[in-house]
Amino acid sequence: MAQFNPTIIGFACNWCCYAGADLAGTSRMKYPANLRLIRVMCSGRIDPQFILRAFKEGADGVFIGGCHPGDCHYVSGNYKTEKRIFLLKNLLAGLGIESERLELNWVSASEGQIFADAVTAFTERIRKLGPLALDAPPSVSQDVAPELEAPAPAAESAGPPPADAESAKPDLGHLKAVPDAGQFACRIPQFKIPDGA
Amino acid sequence: MVDVSRHPNVELLTLSTIKKVSGFVGNFTVTLHQKARYVDASQCTACGDCAKVCPQRFPDEFNLGLSTRTAIYQPFPQAVPAAFCRNEKQCLGALPLACGKCLAACEKKCIDFDQKDIERDYEVGAIVLATGMDVFDATTLAEFGYGKYPDVLTSLEFERLCSAGGPTGGHIVKISDGEEPKDVVFIHCVGSRDKAVGNEYCSRVCCMFIIKQAHLLKDKMPGANVTSYYMDIRAYGKGFEEFYDRVREEGVRFKRGKPSEIFRRKGRLIVRVDDTLLGKVIEHETDMVVLGVGLVPSEGHRELAQALKLSLSSDRFFLEAHPKLRPVDTNIDGVYLAGCAQGPKDIPDTVAQAKGAASSAIALLNKGKVKVDPIVADINEDACSSCHICEALCPYQALVYDTQKHVMTVNQILCKGCGVCPSACPSGAITLRHYTSVQIDAQLDALLSKGGESREERAVAEKVEA
């Protein structure tokens, strides 16, 4: 069987990731040709609608590259991207798109190798996931609802949950990788926002 | 400083803080708060008659508490303007029963206890930040016993002791008993290159000022035993390495190792240090320890950064626009950096950067025009629902609400074209020129279409084939 060749759309900010990609190119580094890069001035320009449109129009994965936290050319655009992508990843699950198909990466202008490695790893991941099948009915919508309403078992008791609790849970399939859906309205970013940003 | 104060085109404002900065490059409005001096600086001749009669005594900040000053005082002999000032919190006041002795002593009658703080707006075209730095607070490092043992000094205190105009007239003595020290230890990198205190950076000037102070000490007291404990000697400037060699030849001993502890035993200070070149822990008995304290951002720099919307780098100093290509610019057009406000540096580097900043400001003002990038946000006023979501997102405060039209407007000089607002606008009223949604969608379509077909067209084609 021929190897699946995914189509990947990349959004790269002009100052860090795009320059990093440029460096990867001028340094003759190799990475899969599946990535098609779109330049934006700042990762903060990436409207979640662009990502959804990319998936709709046939992308199997979307790669986003911004500046490292604290390095944004526009002070704090990448923090906004981080929040938006986090929210969108949670929404994607509800739309029947695996959240692993969307990746946010920080690549600086000097990190050509890191860019090449990240793209290679992401392409491999999408290759394993296979083509995005959007035509399948979004069967997740019924499954997500009980999960949202069900009280978190850990909050009820400190002891081990009853044995049947696991089996009573609906089979969420690929949704298991998604963090607790209830927390996505507000979340502390993974990194510390420096003062003055 | 005297030159600056006398220049016809320079208005020097002392005792002033920036309250608010609005506007943009070429059109800044700076609101300054000038504290009352309580002395008419244009009349005062700095004769000092007022200080002679003042009954109050406080630690002198300039001599770091090694001497005292009165409540009406001149901060230091060469202070500009050459006039006295009064600390209203320390002064007993002018009530007939309180004090008011200085009022009577002043021949020129230039002391005015009723002077008020002034707040004034200044229209300026460019701003140069040269707010300097502070020194590291050595009391943070309890292991060195600074503040506990009087003979553990900071380098700045030692500098005052060395100064002919200092509290001891340049005579180096132990603070504890007034005797001359026979053995002095210098410690490098106190509060710099130290992750434990949150200062990872090298303060750059300490190596050289410690070498200079060791030289001064050897010069004044050739018989004294002078030892310097260092992590690395960074003598990187012009003539610095030669000076370091010369001081070593003068008999100052440089030992590699960072002291771990200072304590007192039988009236003498003991410095415990791992001499990394000898490979063993030694206890150095000494009379005086000088801590080579590093530089930290000046007090109030965060408020200033907020007022000017500037960013700070990870070391908490002001962030330059580009570390190599734009080292005097900031991310705000028309605001420039000079000196230690941007990061620790020595005098030659500060002078070089200050000249760069001044030239940048002059070049900007002389043109009378600024070039702005064409990539800016535009607002479709008909679509704007005035939800204000974009306003809070803009890091440049380029989005301003028009209270007449009830729509947001973009200040195209402040806008840097990042595009955070168009992707947040729920009404789709904002477009970023050259990066509009239509343009990006077109790119997406072009990149994703296989043979010019969209996903739907492909699906139809597949069905037909089946």
Q: Which of B331, B432, B455 sits opposite A45 (nearest CB)?
A: B432
Q: Rounded to whole angstroms, what are the CA distances from B1 to B81, B83, B101, B352, B427? A: 9, 14, 31, 17, 55
d(CA B41, CA B175): 36
Residue A79 phi/psi, 5-degree rounding, is: -65, -40
Q: Mark yes or no for CB contact B395/A57 under 8 Å.
A: no
Average pLDDT over residues A83-111: 92
- Provide the pLDDT for residue B454: 59
Supply the angle between the helices A17-26 and A112-129 in degrees, to the nearest 10.
100
* Residue B414 pLDDT greater than 80, yes or no: yes
- Please count the residue pairs, one from chain A and one from chain B, whose beta carbons lie less than 8 angstroms apart: 96
Structure confidence at residue B182 as a pLDDT band (50, 70, 90): very high
- Provide the pLDDT for residue B453: 58
What is the DSSP secondary structure assignment for residue A2, as one 8-state letter? P
Q: Tokens 């379509």: give the residue.
A: B445
Q: Judging by DSSP bridges, how do beta strands B72-73 and B85-86 pair with one another?
A: antiparallel
Average pLDDT over residues B2-21: 92
Q: By CB neighbour count within 10 A (0-12 exposed, 13-18 middle, 19+ buried), where does B425 fall?
A: buried
Kindly list the residues from chain A whose CB atom is less than 8 angstroms away from the CB atom of residue B458: 58
Residue of B420, B427, B455 best to disrupt the A interface, most CBs of A under 10 A: B420
Domain count, chain A: 1
* Residue A43 pLDDT greater than 50, yes or no: yes
d(CA B78, CA B61): 14
Q: How many Å lie between the alpha carbon of A13 and the closest alpha carbon of chain B?
A: 9
Q: Tell me which residue of B174, B137, B133, B186 sits closest to B292, measured CA to CA.
A: B186
* Residue A184 pLDDT greater than 80, yes or no: no
**Chain A, nearest residue to B309 by Cα:** A196
Residue B306 touches chain A, beta carbons under 8 Å? yes
Q: Which of A70, A75, A135 sits opposite B331 (nearest CB)?
A: A75
Chain centre distance of CA B224: 36
Kindly list the residues from chain B whose CB atom is less than 8 angstroms away from the CB atom of residue A9: 444, 447-448
Q: How many Å lie between the alpha carbon of A130 and the closest alpha carbon of chain B?
A: 17
Residue B417 touches chain A, beta carbons under 8 Å? yes
* Residue A183 pLDDT greater than 80, yes or no: no
**pLDDT tens sequence across B101-117:** 999 999 999 999 999 99
Q: Tell me which residue of B150, B190, B141 sits closest to B292, measured CA to CA.
A: B190
Average pLDDT over residues A71-87: 90
* Residue A179 pLDDT greater than 70, yes or no: no
Residue B317 touches chain A, beta carbons under 8 Å? no
Average pLDDT over residues B356-362: 96
* Residue A141 pLDDT greater than 50, yes or no: no
Q: Tell me which residue of A187, A191, A169, A171 sits closest to A179, measured CA to CA.
A: A187
Kindly list the residues from chain B whose CB atom is less than 8 angstroms away from the CB atom of residue A70: 314
Q: Mark yes or no for CB contact B422/A47 under 8 Å.
A: yes
Chain A residues at the B interface, defined by Cβ less than 8 Å, are 7, 9, 36, 38, 40-42, 44-50, 53-54, 56-59, 70, 73-77, 80, 84, 134-135, 194-197
ipTM: 0.70
Average pLDDT over residues B120-147: 95
Q: Give the DSSP letter string of B383-402.
A: T-----HHHHH-TT--EEEE
Residue B127 phi/psi, 5-degree rounding, is: -130, 130
Kindly list the residues from chain B whose CB atom is less than 8 angstroms away from the CB atom of residue A46: 423
Average pLDDT over residues B249-260: 95
**Chain A, nearest residue to B422 by Cα:** A45
Kindly list the residues from chain A whose CB atom is less than 8 angstroms away from the CB atom of residue B305: 196
What is the DSSP secondary structure assignment for residue A192, as one 8-state letter? P
Greater pLDDT, A171 or B355: B355
**pLDDT tens sequence across B203-250:** 999 999 999 999 999 999 999 999 999 999 999 999 999 999 999 999
Outline where DSSP puts E strands in B151-277: 152-154, 183-190, 225-230, 253-256, 259-265, 268-275
Q: Which of B416, B435, B454 sits opposite A74 (nearest CB)?
A: B416
Among the residue ranges A175-179, B143-147, B300-304, B324-328, the one predicted with the least confidence is A175-179
- Provide the pLDDT for residue B458: 64
Q: Which of B305, B417, B459 sits opposite A41 (nearest CB)?
A: B417
Q: Which domain CATH number covers A151?
A: 3.40.50
d(CA B451, CA B466): 19
**Mean pLDDT for chain B overall:** 92
Structure tokens at B429: 């009223």
Residue B444 touches chain A, beta carbons under 8 Å? yes
Q: Tell me which residue of B430, B394, B388 sits closest to A47, measured CA to CA.
A: B430
Q: Are B161 and B57 in contact (CB under 8 A)?
A: no
d(CA B290, CA B157): 9
Q: Which of A59, A74, A77 sits opposite B448 (nearest CB)?
A: A59
Q: What count of other Cβ atoms lies within 10 Å of the Cβ of residue B39?
A: 25
Q: Mark yes or no for CB contact B444/A197 under 8 Å.
A: no
d(CA B32, CA B24): 17
- Taking the CA atoms of B342, B344, B349 and B355 in sequence, report the sign of the dihedral they define: positive
Residue of B444, B450, B453 best to disrupt the A interface, most CBs of A under 10 A: B444
Structure confidence at residue B97 as a pLDDT band (50, 70, 90): confident
Q: Tell me which residue range forms the domain holding A185.
A: 1-197
d(CA A104, CA A122): 10
Residue B433 touches chain A, beta carbons under 8 Å? no
Domains and CATH numbers, chain B: 2-125 (no CATH), 133-296 (3.50.50.60), 377-435 (3.30.70.20)
- Provide the pLDDT for residue A172: 44
Q: Give the DSSP letter string of A44-104.
A: GG--HHHHHHHHHTT-SEEEEEEPPTT--TTSSHHHHHHHHHHHHHHHHHHTT--GGGEEE
* Residue A193 pLDDT greater than 60, yes or no: no
Q: Mark yes or no for CB contact A84/B302 under 8 Å.
A: no
Q: Tell me which residue of B435, B308, B371, B443 sits closest to A44, measured CA to CA.
A: B435
Among the residue ranges B194-198, B277-281, B321-325, the one predicted with the least confidence is B321-325
- Provide the pLDDT for residue B23: 87
